[in-house]
Amino acid sequence: MASEPASAQASDPAAVEPLLRLTDVQAGYGRAALVLRGLSVTVAPSSVVCLVGPNGAGKSTVLKVASGLLTPRAGQVVVDGVDVTGRTPQQLLAAGLSHVPQGHSVFPEMTVAENVLLGAYTVHDRSVIAERADFVTGLFPLVGERWSALAGALSGGQQKQVEFARSLMVRPKVVLLDEPSMGLDPKATGKVFEQVQRMRDAGTAVLLVEQNARRALEAADVGCVLDLGKVHITGPAPTLLADPRLAQLYLGGRPKEVP
């Protein structure tokens, strides 16, 4: 099956205009206290950025602001140079942000094909849909192999691939992944992170939220540690993994050995 060419890795993420920029975002729910208190984060082209932090730090809330599910009370959301602050989820999807929520979101009684093609519901040109279906099945061969199967018959890790494939049918600039490894065993978790990197290598940037901080940082290019509603520390993921203080506080133990 045809696949679209892989884009080059950004050699210096700091030197290129980010695809997604959240600046000084404040956000919360109803009358409750703010969850995000001046949070800033950027996602460069062809990079995986991983948000880690304690339970309730606001990681999923960042993704909800980025995808328009939650309107920020202050701050700015910019996609590929365009200010999209306050736009609806549909407008943000059109601007290039695709959100894969926590948990399972496939329709189990529908086939894998039907689930994937739902991702292209805004596209009306059949040849474009076919070309994109070729692209996602090239990227996730299992999705092509199980194309006619009921999605509910797939394992949890396989269903995640269907969700990833569906999210790419809009050809997003950035995919927002909320805890993709949740509920998966270690083997399936490893595969999920391989697929995250494959999406990046095929030209889609990724903003990832994970409880499984160590595994996620191992797959990421950049890590951001959230605390008290802000990005507390940010840097190359291997640097964060090697930092003994972070390892103790957020990664559950000793730092990774650096060769």
Ligand X SMILES: Nc1ncnc2c1ncn2[C@@H]1O[C@H](COP(=O)(O)OP(=O)(O)OP(=O)(O)O)[C@@H](O)[C@H]1O
Q: Looking at beta carbons, which pairs linking 187-190 to residues 24 or more positions away fall under 8 Å? A: 187/157, 188/155, 188/156, 188/157, 188/160, 189/157, 189/215, 190/215
Closest distance of CB 248 from ligand X, Å: 19
Closest distance of CB 229 from ligand X, Å: 9
Q: Is 120 helix (H, G, I), strand (E, B) or coil?
A: coil
Closest distance of CB 145 from ligand X, Å: 33
Of the pair 37, 191, the CB lying nearest ligand X is at 37
Closest distance of CB 32 from ligand X, Å: 6
What number of other Cβ atoms are within 10 A of residue 165's Cβ? 26
- Residues ≥6 apart with Cβ < 8 Å to 121: none
Closest distance of CB 212 from ligand X, Å: 11
Of the pair 60, 98, the CB lying nearest ligand X is at 60
Of the pair 146, 160, the CB lying nearest ligand X is at 160
- Angstrom distances, CA of residue 101 to CA of 67, 106, 178, 180, 185: 10, 11, 5, 8, 19
Of the pair 18, 58, the CB lying nearest ligand X is at 58
Closest distance of CB 3 from ligand X, Å: 33
Please say whether the beta carbons of 150 and 108 come within 8 A: yes
For 163, the token pair is 């969700």
Cβ burial, residue 186 (10 Å; 0-12/13-18/19+): exposed
Of the pair 58, 180, the CB lying nearest ligand X is at 58
Of the pair 53, 144, the CB lying nearest ligand X is at 53
Instruction: Return residues touching ligand X (CB under 6 A).
Output: 29, 32, 35, 53, 55-61, 211
- The rounded distance, in Å, linking the Cα atoms of 235 and 224 is 7
Of the pair 29, 121, the CB lying nearest ligand X is at 29
Q: DSSP secondary structure string, 151-216?
A: GGGS-HHHHHHHHHHHHHTT--SEEEEE-TTTT--HHHHHHHHHHHHHHHHTT-EEEEE-SSHHHH
Closest distance of CB 216 from ligand X, Å: 12
